[in-house]
Amino acid sequence: MAPPLQPVRGTRDIIGEDAVRHAHVVETARRVTALYGFAEWQTPIFEDTRVFSRTLGETSDVVTKEMYTFETRGGDDVTLRPEGTAGVCRALITAGLTQTLPQKVFYNGPMFRYEHPQKGRYRQFHQIGVELLGPSTPLADAEVIACGWQILQELGIAKDVSLNINTLGDAESRETYRAVLVEYFSKHADALSSDSKIRLEKNPLRILDSKDEGDRKIVEGAPKAWAYLSQAAGEFYYQVQRRLESFRVPFVGNPNIVRGLDYYNHTAFEFVTSALGAQGTVMAGGRYDGLVEQMGGPKVPGVGWAAGIERLAMLMEASLENKRSIIIIPEKNDSTELGQGSQNTAVEAAKMLRENGVKAEISFQSGMKNGLKYANRMNAKWAVLVNGRAMILKNLDDGSQSEVAFDDLVARFLK
């Protein structure tokens, strides 16, 4: 006998309690983002590879080591999406929406990266995210962050998370900072990884994002962007902080939060936690005013964030109480006349309850005894015992029971 098939390494089935938590994260995010005026978009799971190679940087670890890229039968070069922002910006251009701004977008779904599987991180993982496209003011940055903070609060995990923010400055600031970085990293060129030696020539800001341990030690001593801010960039950062205070979002400044690509500017932020062991990021984002233009569109400012659903779900301490069903149990579950009568009543009762928003299941077990065993296994609170048109309502928590008229059944549960 062949061994049973298993999920591919780095993937998993989302079932049971995991499925309940996953759905709760998405539903909470969908509800909260709607309060802020975000509309949900769905973009394809795979895109033309250039959508990501252009935007994530040809020398980035994601592009060179982590993307699932393949050629289709028609010869097209496509990639499973490693993140959501690029697809949203591509869709903005494709749909001709760059002239109708702002666009406020919420998305959720699977992403794919070939990396070492670890706790809360998979090769197929899932994200929620928002993108606010059009506004270039500090208020937009603060509102996007406030939206993320409210989601964390409503998931009940904000107490375990802290917001770190930084500024990357404007174009003038980054040009000055780039020259300073070249000078600094050139002094340590021999100790840089082979990847970062290439980055030093092409884009030294990318070294700040390096995951190589040796590079990280060198980066720790690198000059900080704060020291090279223009007056305008400094004022922008100041206003973001004041608006966050207005939204009552607590934060700390952290000059070590960086983004290496040129289209990132001004605000960069991360919601971090140590509740999952070593400090990890559960939600991260920033401003990317040059991204849409880099993809072939007009200059459209943007700011957004993304969060891993798996990590958010892991932070939720208590099990989510799944709404308890009412189990409707026909006395006879067979093809006899009495069995048909009980089944017809059970079907009518279930249909009526469901149409009024009450969660109801029909037992497929044979007989009342087995039906009640099933109801207890499903942690139902109520069982409706059906014998022809007669119905008995049984409370499975305390064992009490009473007769109930068919026409009074819905009113009993809605009350």
Q: Tell me the pLDDT tens digit for each residue of 293-345.
A: 999 999 999 999 999 999 999 998 765 666 788 999 998 766 665 557 888 99
Q: Within a domain: residue 216?
A: no
pLDDT of 279? 60
| pLDDT: which is higher, 225 or 57 | 225
Q: How many CB atoms lie within 10 A of CB 30?
A: 15
List, in sequence order, the alpha helices (H) in 103-170: 138-154
Q: Number of C-alpha atoms within 13 angstroms, CB side, residue 117?
A: 11
Q: Within a domain: residue 300?
A: yes
> 131 with 255, same domain?
yes
pTM reported for the whole predicted model: 0.86
Alpha-carbon gap, residue 71 to 74, rounded angstroms: 8
Cis ω before 102 (30° cut-off from 0): yes
Q: Are 194 and 250 in contact (CB under 8 A)?
A: no
Let me know how many helices (H) and strands (E) the chain has, helices first: 14, 16
Q: Using one digit for the tens of pLDDT, what is the confidence trace for 214-243?
A: 998 998 888 888 889 999 999 999 999 999
List, in sequence order, the alpha helices (H) in 286-379: 291-294, 309-315, 337-355, 367-377
280 lies in which domain range? Answer: 16-170+230-315
Distances (CA, A) of 130 to 37, 84, 112, 210, 283: 11, 9, 18, 25, 11
Is the model's pLDDT at 59 over the cut of 60?
no
What is the strand order of the sheet 401-403 is part of? Answer: 360-362, 326-330, 382-387, 390-395, 401-403
> 284 with 397, same domain?
no
> 307 with 331, same domain?
no
Beta bridge partners of 108: 128
CATH code, domain with 150: 3.30.930.10
Angle, vertex CA 5, rays to CA 114 and CA 118, nearest 5: 30
pLDDT of 58? 64
Q: Within a domain: residue 103?
A: yes
pLDDT of 1? 82
pLDDT of 333? 63
> 337 with 283, same domain?
no
Q: Are 133 and 102 in contact (CB under 8 A)?
A: yes
Q: How many domains does the chain have?
A: 2
